[in-house]
Amino acid sequence: MANTNGGLLIYGVAEPLKLVGLSPDDISDANIRSLEQLISSRVKPYLDGVEMCVLDSGDGGCTLLVVDVPASEFAPHLIYGAGQRDKNHRAAVVPERYGRDTIWMDEHQLAQSYRERFARQTSHAEILNELIDFAAEQCLEAGGNRGWLVMAAAPVRVLRGHPTLERHRVLNVAQEALRRGMELRRALSPPTEILRSLDSAGQNPRTGYHRWVLSNFLSRSDSNTQRPIYLELHLDGSCALGIDLTWRLNELVDGEAIYLRGGVVDAAAADFVAVAQALSNEVLNRAPMSINAKIFQPTESQRPLVLLDETSDTKVIEREWTRHLSRTQTVFAELRTPEDIHEQRLAAHGIASGILNQFGADSMLPRPARA
């Protein structure tokens, strides 16, 4: 079903549409967990969004198990056999639902399914590019020779129905992101807190076009005593974050360059992954996310980007081995299972190292081993 349009599987119904029900053993917690583990271990790529629900008649006469299988943006999914040999050597089949029957894709159907996946990914890349470019435009409106780290995240599959994101849920996302961000950047010293810079703006989200906007510099009522931050939370579960990496460096450094605080990149990557995770939990039922990140500067600026290390609150230095850049490339990361702290750390490290490596520097975030 995930390889076509999704659908419902109802266990406890016999042909032709006769309710027979399931025994208590069939729907035990252990059996449902076993079914979830089978999906996780034998279906590749990972199939996200499968939901299971036990329905009871109320009088104990009939119990059903309903499995909701979403249409997947990562189709085609392969089902591997249950052999004991290394999974790379196991045979796999690609099922497709046709009416009431399950058939197996042949070569030309499989090729077409892969072409459709790549087309979806191209469209998804365009969505991410639009998100990050629009957020960068808002940030650059602040003016000056500043360097902005802008990140955007979007769900890899389209939401069903018409999503809503009320103000109180936006505040829930902000609070959860603050908590999770603290956990992700626990190893950093000094422990820079990016989202805290929103200050009162974090408690007063403003409506936008199909989104909420939290910023501390866009309007005349905003405070300018904190690092400039721009955050968008979209109703469809996508989000974008812009951070001024140049903030207050002009007071410490003289020169014809756009100077960037390297330590802020690590903290910003961790906090943005925390935002994406919190929003996915609130709106997307923990759906996987794709992330883009890039440093933007005024288009008319001819100044190089220079990365600095912070040795204290009032002292920064340029390492002799860092590179000067005229621009940075876009960094890509994935948050495949947003509720998994291991996946969050992988994504945060991937973003930070992807940006910093371009200058010849390394991320200070711990690099978790891949599962």
Contacts of 149 (CB under 8 A, 6+ apart): 242, 243, 245, 264, 265, 268, 293, 294, 295, 355
For residue 223, what pLDDT is reported?
Answer: 62
Q: Identify residue 320 by its one-letter amino acid code.
A: E
- If pLDDT is split at 50, 70 and 90, which confidence band does 231 have? very high
For residue 324, what pLDDT is reported?
Answer: 94
Q: Pick the residue with more confidence: 352 or 19?
A: 352
pLDDT at 134 over 60: yes
Q: Identify residue 215 by its one-letter amino acid code.
A: S
Tokens at residue 309, please? Answer: 């290390």
The CA distances from residue 143 to 138, 230, 298, 322, in Å, are 10, 14, 8, 26
Tokens at residue 185, please? Answer: 């950047």
- If pLDDT is split at 50, 70 and 90, which confidence band does 234 have? very high
pLDDT at 199 over 80: no
Max CA pair span of the chain: 80
Burial label, 299 (beta-carbon count in 10 A; 0-12, 13-18, 19+): exposed
Mode of pairing for the β-strands spanning 43-44 and 7-11: unpaired
Q: Can you tell me the mean pLDDT for 33-47?
A: 85
For residue 9, what pLDDT is reported?
Answer: 84
Residue found by looking up tokens 């070569």 in the block: 107
Check residue 219 and report its DSSP letter.
Answer: S
Domain ranges across the chain: 7-105, 123-359
Contacts of 268 (CB under 8 A, 6+ apart): 149, 151, 194, 241, 243, 352
- Percent of the chain at pLDDT > 70 equals 91
- If pLDDT is split at 50, 70 and 90, which confidence band does 120 have? low
- Return the closest-CA partner of residue 336 out of 49, 132, 112, 130: 49
Identify the weakest region by mean pLDDT among 133-137, 207-211, 224-228, 271-275: 224-228
pLDDT tens for each residue of 58-116:
776 788 888 888 777 778 888 887 665 555 556 788 888 777 778 888 888 888 888 87
- If pLDDT is split at 50, 70 and 90, which confidence band does 164 have? confident
For residue 159, what pLDDT is reported?
Answer: 56
Q: Pick the residue with more confidence: 238 or 28?
A: 238
For residue 371, what pLDDT is reported?
Answer: 54
Per this entry, what is the length of the chain? 371
Check residue 97 and report its DSSP letter.
Answer: E
CA 8 to chain centre: 27
pLDDT tens for each residue of 304-358:
999 998 765 567 788 888 899 999 999 999 887 778 888 899 999 999 999 999 9
* CA 70, 74, 80, 84 torsion-angle sign: negative
Coil vs helix vs strand at 104: strand
- Return the closest-CA partner of residue 314 out of 256, 249, 257, 260: 249
pLDDT at 23 over 70: yes
Dump the DSSP string for 171-189.
HHHHHHHHHHHHHHTTT-S
Coil vs helix vs strand at 231: strand
- Return the closest-CA partner of residue 197 out of 217, 179, 183: 217
Coil vs helix vs strand at 273: helix
pLDDT at 161 over 70: no
pLDDT at 192 over 70: yes
Q: Which residues of 205-236 are buried (b: 16+ CB within 10 A; e: fewer)?
A: beeeeebbbbbbbbeeebeeebbbbbbbbbbb
The CA distances from residue 42 to 89, 103, 159, 193, 360, in Å, are 13, 18, 25, 40, 40
Identify the weakest region by mean pLDDT among 76-85, 97-106, 170-179, 222-231: 76-85
Check residue 216 and report its DSSP letter.
Answer: S
Q: Identify residue 48 by its one-letter amino acid code.
A: D
Q: Pick the residue with more confidence: 201 or 209?
A: 209
